[in-house]
Structure 1
Amino acid sequence: MNAYLLLSIAVVAEVCGSSMLKLTEGFKKIWPTMGVIAGYSIAFYTLSLSLQTLPLGLAYAIWSGVGTALTALAGIIFYKEEINLKKSMGILLIIGGVALLNSGL
């Protein structure tokens, strides 16, 4: 399977797992907790598979950067968290940093 596809699956799984953390209420609710465990398990497994081909620094930068940006967007969309200029600029800087790392290959 394509390494970038595996990395994309890892990002989506990590965002799903991270987004469910809020629903666990401190790991007191079982189903959201199971979702967190499943999301992170899939994320780490597919990330590890992508690392068979991709350089560690690049893969981790994409995984953490894109995951952070998407998790922030998930908070805005699903949890009605506020969006402001600073948060928007931070997301854009993360995406820009990942793009810059990709261009250095």
Structure 2
Amino acid sequence: MTWIFLIAAILSEVSATLALRMASQTGSNKKWFVVVGVGYVASFAFLTLALDAGLALGVAYGIWTACGVALTALACRILFREALTKLMAAGIALIAAGVVLIELGAGH
């Protein structure tokens, strides 16, 4: 369940961030801010559950933030046609490598 909670935390945070982008657009329905609030609260709740289930804070926070950054960048490229340069893609690859190193270093 630990990893399910962490995945839910990541997906909730990414959803909230994408909703924030929608809410900030000119002429947008401000009801998107409800999605933002619910998403961030859910994200922190799921992160807390992952920690309560035994995941170390350094590992959980590292994976949560790294995956959030990478998934948000990819989703923004697909949904909002934002730039995703080769340099940015290399950064995402480095983030992925960092997540793997954090997990390996945790020594389960």
Please classify the TM superposition score into its range, dividing by the shorter chain length. Answer: over 0.9
Partner of 1:24: 23
TM-align CA RMSD? 1.3
Distance between the aligned counterparts of 2:81 and 2:30, measured in 1?
Answer: 23
Partner of 2:78: 77
Query: TM-score, normalising length from structure 2?
Result: 0.91
| 1:48-67 equivalence runs, <5 A | 48-52=48-52, 53-67=54-68
Partner of 1:41: 41
Deviation at 1:30, TM superposition (A): 2.7
Deviation at 1:22, TM superposition (A): 1.2
Classify the secondary structure of the residue corresponding to 1:23: helix
Distance between the aligned counterparts of 1:43 and 1:34, measured in 2?
Answer: 14
Q: Cα deviations across residues 63-98 of structure 1 (Å, max 9, x unaligned)?
A: 000011000011101000112111100100011101
Runs of 4+ displaced beyond 4 Å: none
Distance between the aligned counterparts of 1:55 and 1:90, measured in 2?
Answer: 25
Distance between the aligned counterparts of 1:24 and 1:30, measured in 2?
Answer: 6
Q: What letter corresponds to residue 23 of structure 2 in structure 1?
A: T
Give ranges in structure 2 of 5+ residues lacking alignment: none
1:11 aligns with 2:45: no
Classify the secondary structure of the residue corresponding to 1:50: helix
Distance between the aligned counterparts of 1:54 and 1:6, measured in 2?
Answer: 10
Give ranges in structure 1 of 5+ residues lacking alignment: none
Q: What letter corresponds to residue 13 of structure 1 in structure 2?
A: S
- Say whether the 8 Å CA contact 2:73–2:84 is kept in structure 1: no
Distance between the aligned counterparts of 2:44 and 2:10, measured in 1?
Answer: 9
Query: TM-score, normalising length from structure 1?
Result: 0.93
Q: Cα deviations across residues 42-75 of structure 1 (Å, max 9, x unaligned)?
A: 1000001101110000000010000110000111
